[in-house]
Amino acid sequence: MPSLRLDPAAEGRGHRSYAWFYDALTGDSFRPGEEDFYRAVALRSGGPVLEPACGTGRVLAVAYAAGVAVNGQDAEAAMLDLARRRLDALRQTQPALAQVPCELRAGRISELHAASGQGAILLPLDGFRLLLAPDEQRAFLAAARRLLRPGGLLALDLTLGVGPRGDLRTKPVVGPDGGTTVARFTRRHHRGLMYERGTYWTRWPDQPTRTEVSWDRYRIVEADELADLLAAAGFRVHSVSSDFLGTPWVEGDGWAAVVAQA
């Protein structure tokens, strides 16, 4: 196995080469209460809803299926292609959605591409930690605050503090070509204020079996720091829970679902 050293050229490669694998594992997978949480935020906001790291559209589709106008962006074209297919499939089963605005575009999370007057901005699955420096996080929240109309909502869920350690294995998944099978092995570790995840992708029946590595990086964020960042950007925290079912968050919980209001 390759050594565990960060290769800048491999950063994010998995999302480009294995978007279908990511979607197979997470596309229809929700934690208890997660769909209801994000659907309620979207409906309460009245839309439009912006998800600036929408991936393959898992959460964006929840808002869209509820009849709320959506804007999605992602840095990887392969992820957006799958998001587009997911939203197209919804229109096939719910023809009335053809009248609901929907836009997908390429863009990094640090560069919000949407008109002002958004009803809600969503950052599921640790999206906020993709902003790798305090200045980036402050700039993102300031931009989000400007895009939201008065009373608009920012909803996010994220790991607080160091978060999980250790390794993760995934059972093999057959690729879209029907002939290539891929499995992944993930090594997680922390380096200063960064949480790094190295993912080794093994493909077969390639001859010989081929292994590739990709990297994801996240910034470690503490609860007090998040509260200060939100307040400095002009957000008022509306609710904080330790799960998507509304269990009140208490100091020391390592994860939170947060709704803040502009």
Which CATH number covers residue 171?
Answer: 2.20.130
With respect to residue 150, please indicate whether it lies within any of the assigned structural domains.
Answer: yes
pLDDT recorded at residue 150: 96
User: Torsions phi, psi of 204, nearest 5?
Assistant: -155, 155
Q: pLDDT band at residue 5, thresholds of 50, 70 and 90? A: very low
**What range defines the domain where residue 243 resides?**
31-160+221-261
Q: Is the same domain home to 192 and 64?
A: no
- Extended strands (E) in the chain: 49-51, 70-74, 102-106, 118-123, 148-159, 166-174, 181-191, 194-204, 210-219, 236-241, 255-261
pLDDT recorded at residue 134: 93
Q: Is the same domain home to 71 and 121?
A: yes
Phi-psi region of 33 (alpha: psi -120 to 50; beta: other; left: phi over 0): left
Residue ranges in 46-198 assigned as alpha helix (H): 58-65, 77-93, 134-147
With respect to residue 210, please indicate whether it lies within any of the assigned structural domains.
Answer: yes
Percent of the chain past pLDDT 90, that is, above it, reads 65
Closest CA to 216 of 194, 184, 193: 194
Name the domain count of the chain: 2
Closest CA to 238 of 48, 230, 145, 223: 230
Q: Is the same domain home to 99 and 212?
A: no
Lowest-confidence pick of 30-34, 44-48, 206-210: 206-210
Q: Is the same domain home to 156 and 175?
A: no
Q: Is the same domain home to 55 and 152?
A: yes
Q: Is the same domain home to 102 and 66?
A: yes
Q: Is the same domain home to 154 and 183?
A: no
Burial of 162 (0-12, 13-18, 19+ CB in 10 A): exposed
With respect to residue 22, please indicate whether it lies within any of the assigned structural domains.
Answer: no
- 65 touches 94 (CB < 8 A): yes
With respect to residue 152, please indicate whether it lies within any of the assigned structural domains.
Answer: yes
pLDDT recorded at residue 22: 82
Mean pLDDT of 170-194: 82
Residue 209 predicted with pLDDT over 80: no
With respect to residue 137, please indicate whether it lies within any of the assigned structural domains.
Answer: yes
Model confidence pLDDT, tens digit, residues 58-81: 999 999 999 999 999 999 999 999
Q: Is the same domain home to 229 and 124?
A: yes
Q: What is the mean pLDDT of the chain?
A: 89
The identity of residue 23, as a single letter, is: D
Q: Is the same domain home to 63 and 181?
A: no
Model confidence pLDDT, tens digit, residues 7-43: 555 555 556 678 888 888 887 889 999 999 999 999 9
Model confidence pLDDT, tens digit, residues 213-254: 888 889 999 999 999 999 999 999 999 999 999 999 999 999
Q: Is the same domain home to 116 and 44?
A: yes
Q: Is the same domain home to 236 and 113?
A: yes
The identity of residue 228, as a single letter, is: D
pLDDT recorded at residue 117: 96
Bridge pairing between strands 181-191 and 166-174: antiparallel
With respect to residue 16, please indicate whether it lies within any of the assigned structural domains.
Answer: no
With respect to residue 5, please indicate whether it lies within any of the assigned structural domains.
Answer: no
pLDDT recorded at residue 57: 96
With respect to residue 4, please indicate whether it lies within any of the assigned structural domains.
Answer: no
CATH number of the domain that residue 133 is part of:
3.40.50.150
Percent of the chain past pLDDT 70, that is, above it, reads 93
Q: Is the same domain home to 181 and 57?
A: no
Model confidence pLDDT, tens digit, residues 97-118: 999 999 999 999 999 988 999 9
- 229 touches 216 (CB < 8 A): no
Residue 56 predicted with pLDDT over 60: yes
